[in-house]
Structure 1
Amino acid sequence: MTAFCFRDRRLSKGFTLVELMIAMLLGAFFLNGVLHIFSAAKQSYRTQENLARLQENGRLALDFISQDVRMAGYWGCSKSAPETDHFDKKNFFYQFTKEDSNKKKLGKALEGFEAITPVSAGLSTSVENWAPKLNPIDEDFDITSPDNLLEGSDVLTIRKVNPQGFLITSIDLKSKSLQVNANANELASAGITKPTPANDGVAVVAVSADCASAQAFQITNVLSTGVIEYKDIASKAGSALIAARPGNKAIPALTTYKGGTVHLVNTASYYVATKNNEKLLYRKTNTDVAEELVDGVEQMQILYGVDSDFKPAVGNYSAPNYYVTANKVEVGEINWDNVVSVRVKLLLATADNVAAHRLPYIFNADLSDLTETIPPDKEDKKIRRVFTATIAIRNRLAQPIATQ
């Protein structure tokens, strides 16, 4: 006979449907909380990363500009710009000798162009949008190229020579050449190379041993032994070196330059342009292809500190009396020789849309008391910051007065 064992139902284990639903609801609630925490942490990290890059880009951009501005007007040990240039062609990049036939265009160690159009996202191909006009910018600095200048943003140009100089050990007036204390490879690493029909010529400044004079010219050849030739080559149609601008219209007289130095001419122009719908800070050095320096730079506005008491004949640089825009520098007897400092103001934006909503921003271009709140585009949720630096031109700092 089989015996059956009946168990009390009160001893049954498990969950009822209601209990299971409550457990699932609580689990979903806690899971949602965890997801929100992770999402907030991710967004916070993304925001902090963008802000860190923004700060880094701002400091980097100001550092690039500051290094060149401080060295504006540096001509080796010479205290003034080259007295003579022998260039066949005067173009924007080689306008740094004391004067030209018009007595005003050359000798600008520093030169700015004030944007006179409203701030916009548009590109410009017109020289009329800047004052002074961008007329000096010729085929070597084509503003109609793919990397167009940005309307409403200033342009800054600095002219100087590279600090690295090569000692002139001997001069051969008959062969129109000079020997320096370096070979061709060492010269090439400093940018001093012979011209070819495929590239532009290399302009240099030779400084005399006593630092009393300097001359600018284009080299025409570099030998492996470090001999630099400087024959007269006109950059004109039919020349084998037509691409080798600027060319020499005359042969420099370097009779007394043994023991002096040779430096590469370095003209750097800074501007903001757009590429692939992104705004970037560019630097164009001489006639080389412009470099993309820093991304996220949306505007550059510049003021120039003018020492109105400066007298060229005396060379008594002091401190700036006031700051003006580029189109107000050459007024009356004031010119670019009176500029002793530069105030740069940059507007930078994060790479990504990290804000919860659109953030209107204020960019006071002329640093006056007038401010304007600028609303971003509808889909623009970027965070913006303004970076400002006032930079002194080292070669124009006030010198201590010698006591008797």
Structure 2
Amino acid sequence: MNGRAPTQTGFTLVEIMVSMVIGLLLVAGVVALAATGSQGNRQIERQVRQIENGRFAIDVLSDHLHHAGFYGGLYPPVAPMPALPAALPDPCGAATPTFAEDGMRLFLQGLDSPAGDPAGSCLTDADHVDGTDVVTIRRAGTLARTPAYAAGRSALFLQAAAGDYRLDLGTQSNPDADGFGITQSNAAGVQVAAPLRDWQVETFYIAPRTRPVDATPCDGDQSDAGRPIPTLMRLRLAGSAWCAEPLAAGIEMLQVEYGIDTSDNGIPNQFEEQPDNPQEWADVVGLRLYLLARTQQPLGAATDPKTYRMGEGVAGPDGTDDFTPPAGDGHKRHLFTSTVRLANPAGRREKP
């Protein structure tokens, strides 16, 4: 033996503690990086959903407007049509033939930035965001029905050929007598019963929540009033009753300008926020839509610095409809615009 102490191997307590601290710092950095990435992904996801909902909302609204004034085979320039009502009809009226015929010439009807109860019993203040426009569309359904389908249904149906029509309840349909009695020629030149179509009335508006509060939900679920997120809603005539259904959440503002044809050629000569009388409403052949979508959840506490121009500044009670977001609400927004031609009423006015 040489008398030397044996050599010790391993780490000292100080080295172990330093290593643990370094390891914890590295783990904390990774966790912080992952949390930042996750938060960023959530923000991107919310903004993507905002854009998707906005595009979907304006596409759905535009598509339904394209069908406004569709009356099947009826050709109003040569067909007997009901006279224009002296006053605008109640968009929430009872499902009766008189109610339907009163609105037949008014395939489009709207309210400019109303407050309070904008449409009587079927659309109340609790279900509508004050200052947002309301648009009602009237038309026949695109799906042809048989007299046997309509018989016994307490819903409104339109049966039409080029020069005649009947608008009545399905309970008046008699399958053994060719339905409502309007006939048309088929490809072989034989007179057959004209198809029946559902009479459709749809009102589009912005609601303060994702579920209706006072209106009856179309899906029958009345368990709650949803989340407090502004939502594009549709109120529609379902059989003999009105029901509401959500279309797109996060839609904060809707403004409309109506193109009026004063030359009877299918081209708008002027735009108004609120046509003055039934005749001007009957002369509407196009619209400008302004729809503001926001994220459903705030992305922080920042203030959106933009002012959104929701119109061209045409004459109307609410001016240019500038929208300034609330301070510090943290929502991102995107404005969608579209110009829609009403193909059916405009097309019937075109001159060769």
Instruction: Give me the TM-score of the superposition, normalised by structure 1.
Output: 0.66
- 1:111 partner amino acid: Q
Q: How many aligned residue pairs are there?
A: 308
Identity of aligned residues (%): 23
State whether structure 2 residue 326 is matched by structure 1 residue 381. no
Is the Cα–Cα contact under 8 Å of residues 310 and 320 in structure 2 kept in the other structure? Answer: no
Paired with 1:228 and 1:349, the residues of 2 have a C-alpha distance of 51
Is the Cα–Cα contact under 8 Å of residues 68 and 137 in structure 2 kept in the other structure? Answer: yes
Q: Which has the higher helix share?
A: 2
Paired with 1:60 and 1:360, the residues of 2 have a C-alpha distance of 25
RMSD of the alignment, in Å? 3.3
Q: SS of 1:150's equivalent? A: coil
- 2:344 partner amino acid: N
Q: SS of 2:57's equivalent? A: helix
**Match of residue 41 from structure 1:** 37
**Match of residue 220 from structure 2:** none
State whether structure 2 residue 160 is matched by structure 1 residue 207. yes
State whether structure 2 residue 195 is matched by structure 1 residue 261. yes
Q: SS of 1:382's equivalent? A: coil
- 1:259 partner amino acid: A
Could you tell me how far 1:349 is from its partner in structure 2?
Answer: 1.7
Is the Cα–Cα contact under 8 Å of residues 355 and 383 in structure 1 kept in the other structure? Answer: no
**Match of residue 234 from structure 1:** none
Is the Cα–Cα contact under 8 Å of residues 202 and 218 in structure 1 kept in the other structure? Answer: yes
Paired with 2:176 and 2:39, the residues of 1 have a C-alpha distance of 58
Out of 134, 149, 153, the residue aligned to residue 132 of structure 2 is 153
Q: SS of 1:60's equivalent? A: helix
- 1:40 partner amino acid: T
Find the structure with the greater CA-based Rg: 1
Structure 1 pair 27–194 and aligned structure 2 pair: CA distance change class (3 A)? same
- 1:15 partner amino acid: F
**Match of residue 330 from structure 1:** 276
Deviations 1:215-245 (A, max 9, x none): 211222667x687877xxxxxxxxxxxxxxx
Structure 1 pair 193–300 and aligned structure 2 pair: CA distance change class (3 A)? farther
Could you tell me how far 1:6 is from its partner in structure 2?
Answer: 4.4
Deviations 1:196-231 (A, max 9, x none): xxxxx31111213xx1122211222667x687877x
Paired with 1:28 and 1:227, the residues of 2 have a C-alpha distance of 86
Equivalent residues in 2 for 1:162-241, closer than 5 Å? 162-166=141-145, 180=147, 184=148, 187=149, 192=150, 194-195=152-153, 201-208=154-161, 211-220=162-171
Paired with 1:290 and 1:227, the residues of 2 have a C-alpha distance of 36
Give 5+ residue unaligned stretches, structure 2: 84-88, 185-190, 210-226, 314-318
Q: SS of 1:164's equivalent? A: coil
Could you tell me how far 1:7 is from its partner in structure 2?
Answer: 2.5
**Match of residue 120 from structure 1:** none
Give 5+ residue unaligned stretches, structure 1: 118-123, 128-133, 168-179, 196-200, 231-252, 311-315
Deviations 1:284-303 (A, max 9, x none): 11133111111111111111
